[in-house]
Amino acid sequence: MLHKTLPLIAAGMIATTPAFAQTDIPFTLDWRFEGPSAPYFLAIDNGHFADAGLDVEISAGEGSLDAIPKVATGAFPIGFADINSLIRFLDQNPGAPVTAVMMIYDSPPFSIVGRKSLGINGIEDLEGSTLGAPPPDGAWAQFPILAAVNGIDASTITVEPVGFPTREPSLAEGTVDSVTGFNFSSYLSAARLGVPEDDLTTILFADHGVKLYGNAIIVNTDYAAANPEIVTAFLGAVVDGVRDALADPAAGAAAVIARNPAGDVDLETRRLQMALDANIATVYALENGMGDIDPARMAEALEQMTIVYDFQNAPDASLYFTDAYLPPAEERSLAQ
């Protein structure tokens, strides 16, 4: 486990911020209100945050590069963001008061979604194909790692720089053979555009040697140091929300749609189920309780990141993640 030493807290400060007083917590997501955000809304609707003495208000985001500065500046004490983006942010902004405290996507959603009818049945078919990739896409940013780990000759791949709005339409129209994206987004978007699901294949980076982690709960470290009990209570309520989502994904999607009436409850149920199955309730999380990381894997992930990113400072895993605020492992069990 990775630890960061918590500073001593004066008795007077503890008295002013009791762990179970009704405490307002603004919480920023990295994206819109969609299926994978259901655990946080279930934690509100099912009283888990309230039982922890927290009044949580959830805000949508515009990507991890939006969420991370919000937390680092203290505009939000807690947020949700991609840890790989956080690692780069901290490398470029040494000493910024932000770190990850609970891993949610133990397996990142980075993937390639292709069409079997266009020759993409698996990773071995990428060479010689046409790949659609939005330049700012998170999965595209990590593609060189996938290629390096699997010996893919990327020079044989024709890369079409598509926009996010045209990514799945390009796949549906057959102008590209596959696209980079998230497993729970690009697949469903292509299917909704009429691509038969038995014609779609998903190449999840994590299934092919990429050791990176995905999105995590992040905190402002100044806030967390002054309010450790509040942060731990928040994380415990999130675990309860994940358990609720696992038990009833449809209820989770309904909780999302209550805040996003323009959404489709059936679509978000499927999106949530895909995130739970592939990204959250992984073998590691089921065996060890959700939220923590494997230090050996993190070391490998940082080494792989050097393929796509030139660190300005020596990588230091303790800057990017701490388990100091996690509830005990038995309280993070996903067993129903």
The secondary structure element, H or E, covering residue 82 is strand 78-82
- Of the chain, the percentage scoring pLDDT greater than 90 comes to 92
- Mean pLDDT over 177-182 rounds to 97
Q: Which two tokens stand for residue 71?
A: 């937390």
CATH of domain 11-107+213-332: 3.40.190.10
As a whole number, mean pLDDT of residues 36-46 equals: 98
Start-to-end CA span in the chain (Å):
25
Examine domains 11-107+213-332 and 110-208 and report if their fold is the same: yes
Average pLDDT over residues 232-247: 98
Write the pLDDT tens digit of every residue in 196-210.
999 999 999 999 999
Predicted confidence band at 10 (pLDDT cuts at 50, 70, 90)?
A: very low
Per-domain residue ranges of the chain? 11-107+213-332, 110-208
Instruction: Please name the amino acid found at residue 56.
Output: V
Q: What digits encode the pLDDT tens for the residues 73-99?
A: 999 999 999 999 999 999 999 999 999
Per-residue pLDDT at 8: 35
What is the tens place of the pLDDT at every residue in 111-123? Answer: 999 999 999 999 9
Q: Is the pLDDT of residue 22 over 80?
A: yes
Give the H/E segment covering residue 332. Answer: none
Residue 12, pLDDT > 70, answer: no
| pLDDT class of 14 with cuts at 50, 70, 90 | very low
Give the C-alpha separation, 1 to 151, whole Å.
Answer: 32
The pLDDT, as a whole number, for residue 40 is: 98
User: Rounded to an integer, what distance in angstroms lies between the CA atom of residue 313 and that of residue 166?
Assistant: 37
- Per CATH, the homologous superfamily of domain 110-208 is Periplasmic binding protein-like II (3.40.190.10)
Total Cβ atoms within 10 A of residue 336: 6
Distances (CA, A) of 126 to 156, 160, 316: 9, 13, 34
